[in-house]
Chains A and B, each alone.
Chain A
Amino acid sequence: AQKVTQAQTEISVVEKEDVTLDCVYETRDTTYYLFWYKQPPSGELVFLIRRNSFDEQNEISGRYSWNFQKSTSSFNFTITASQVVDSAVYFCALRGGSGNTGKLIFGQGTTLQVKP
C-alpha cells in the first residue's frame, strides 16, 4: 500500500523565520515520484516540484529547498526567510511507477501561517 504522512497539521511562524515541512512516504515500488503542491487561500493547488526516486539530489529554488532522503523515506520542504505570502496549505504527494494512470496519493496537508 502507498501512503503519505504529513505529521504537522499546522505551523505558525513569524516572518523571516525558516520553516521545514515534513513529508514521510511509504511505497513498495522501486520507481516512484514525489510532488509538493501549494494551496493558497484562493483554493487552487499550485504545483511546486517533483522528484524521481532515482534522483536523490536536493533542489533549491529561490527561498524554497527540498531534501529527499530515500533511507528515511522522507521528502521535506524548507522555506527560508518566510514571508506572509507563503501562508497556505502545503501538500506532499506520491505516485507509484507501475502503470500510467497518474494517480496521486496525497498527505493530509500542513497549514502554514506566516505572521508579519
Chain B
Amino acid sequence: DVKVTQSSRYLVKRTGEKVFLECVQDMDHENMFWYRQDPGLGLRLIYFSYDVKMKEKGDIPEGYSVSREKKERFSLILESASTNQTSMYLCASSSAGPSNQPQHFGDGTRLSIL
C-alpha cells in the first residue's frame, strides 16, 4: 500500500514564524501535491511538483513556497505565518503514469496560527 506520511498531525505556531510542513511518500511517485482544506471550500491546490527540484503553482500559492530536493520528500513552507493560514493541510502523491492514477493522501496537518 502507498504510504504518505506528514510529519505532524497538529501544529500550533505564532504569527510571523517560518513554518515547515513535511511530507514523505514511499512509492517512488513522481507527482506530489500540497492542498489546504477549509470548510465550504473543499480542497484547494497550493503547489505541486512533478519531479525533483521542479515545482508549479497551484490555485492559491500566495504566502507559501515549497521544496523538493529528493523524490520522496515534498516540503511546504509558510515564510511568515499569518492567522488566515490556519487550516488543514493535506499532502498527496501520484505516479506519472496514465492520467487515471489516483492521488494518495496523508493524514493531514491541522495548523493553527495564533
Contacts and interface: CB of A to CB of B under 8 A. Distances in A.
Interface stretch (B15-23, B40-48, B61-69): B40-48
Nearest to B96: A100
B94 A102 contact: yes
Interface residues of B, number: 30
| Number of chain A interface residues as a range | 20 to 34
B21 to A, nearest CB: 14
Contact of B108 (A6, A43, A52): A43
Contacts, number: 65
B26 interface: no
Interface of B: 9, 31, 33, 35, 40-45, 48, 50, 56, 58, 88, 90, 92, 94, 96, 99-108, 110
Interface of A: 6, 9, 31, 33, 35, 37, 42-47, 50, 52, 91, 95, 97, 100-104, 106-109
